[in-house]
Amino acid sequence: MDALSRDQAEIFEHMFSFVDSMALKCAVELRIADIIHSQDCPISLTQIASKIITNSHNSPMISSSPDNNTMLYLNRIMTSLVRKKIFTAQYDHDQNNNQTVLYYGVTSKSRWLLRDSKPSLAPLILMENHPIQMAPWHYFSHIIKDQEGSATAYEKAHGCGIFELASVNGELNKIFNDGMACLGEMVMGAILPAYDVFGCMGSLVDVGGGIGGDLAEIVKSHPHIKGINFDLPHVTATAPESNGVTHVAGNMFESVPSADAIFIKVRILL
């Protein structure tokens, strides 16, 4: 291949690179990793499709024979995910039908797509690839050209910032908080064993603590701490109860509950 064609092929690759994210999102939405992980061995496309149909009707009694379109589209998604080494694909002989069949199996990456077990990146994948969250990425050129004002790409796309939008959009509020909580679990798993700073405090306030997952982990490993999870009202309203953690609603730019120490994780001052 000459240099011109190679460069052109590379631009094509960049042009369609969003397809990888969409295939990942599709796999999470359809619970493909959960379906394959729940079996003891690799399974065929037909088996995956049947499970998807059964799951989508939410009843094992519904007939689960996939039609041609389902098989065609699922085949394309699986091809993309296998290319990214998220699943394996291997031909084997099916003795029941005396045919050679392609079987899909798990890899070390596929467990991060699981919906039914933790740790998982599934909530973050659903959040980052949601149309609301994708829209601001279309405004790069606008914010660069914009000579007046300092609107962010998010504000250009939605007319307000993410926290304001989440306060009036329950779906965004849930996917954002779930995404943050899943990220928090992983980060706290690294912070807690590495930083021995929590023993000396009697109370701790997590400012912008989301639904309180980080603080719950800290209090679990340091039960003497009185935890205060502080966030905006629409966030604390959906926070689950947790032993040793009190949820307090408010605006950090007005006041913050007092405690022996303040914990702030992730850049929130944009």
Ligand X SMILES: C[S@@+](CC[C@H](N)C(=O)[O-])C[C@H]1O[C@@H](n2cnc3c(N)ncnc32)[C@H](O)[C@@H]1O
Binding site for ligand X (CB under 6 A): 163, 180, 183-184, 208-210, 214, 231-232, 235, 251-253, 265-266, 268
**Chain CA centroid to CA 263, Å:** 23
Structure-token pair, residue 79? 């091809």
For the bound state, the minimum distance from the C-beta of residue 201 to ligand X, rounded and expressed in Å, comes to: 18
| 3-state DSSP percent of the chain in helix, strand and coil, to 5 | 50, 15, 35
Residue whose C-alpha is closest to residue 18's, from 26, 6, 9: 26
Task: Compare residues 80 and 167 and give the one whose CB is closer to ligand X.
Answer: 167
Contact 53, 66 (CB under 8 A): yes
| Residue nearest to ligand X as judged by C-beta position | 208
Q: Rounded to the nearest 10 degrees, what angle do helices 213-221 and 170-194 cross at?
A: 30
Give the span between the Cα atoms of 174 and 237, in whole angstroms.
11
Contacts of the segment 154-161: beta carbons below 8 A, 24+ positions apart: 158/132, 161/270
**Least distance from ligand X to the Cβ atom of residue 234, Å:** 8
109 or 222: whose CB is closer to ligand X?
A: 222
CB of 144 to ligand X, least distance (A): 24
Could you tell me the smallest distance in angstroms from the CB atom of residue 231 to ligand X? 5
Cβ-based nearer residue to ligand X, 47 or 173: 173
At its nearest, how many Å lie between ligand X and the CB of residue 120?
15
Beta carbon nearer to ligand X, 247 or 265:
265
Helix (H, G, I), strand (E, B) or coil at 43: strand
| Contact present, 25 and 9 (Cβ < 8 Å) | no
The residue among 52 and 216 lying less far from ligand X, judged by its C-beta, is 216
Instruction: Closer to ligand X by CB, 9 or 266: give it.
Output: 266
Question: What span, in angstroms and rounded, lies between the C-alpha atoms of 227 and 147?
Answer: 45
Q: What are phi and psi of 203, to 5 degrees?
A: -145, 150
**Closest distance to ligand X from the beta carbon of 165 (Å):** 11
Q: Which is nearer to ligand X, 51 or 247 (CB)?
A: 247
Provide the minimum distance between the beta carbon of 169 and ligand X in the complex, in angstroms, as a whole number: 13
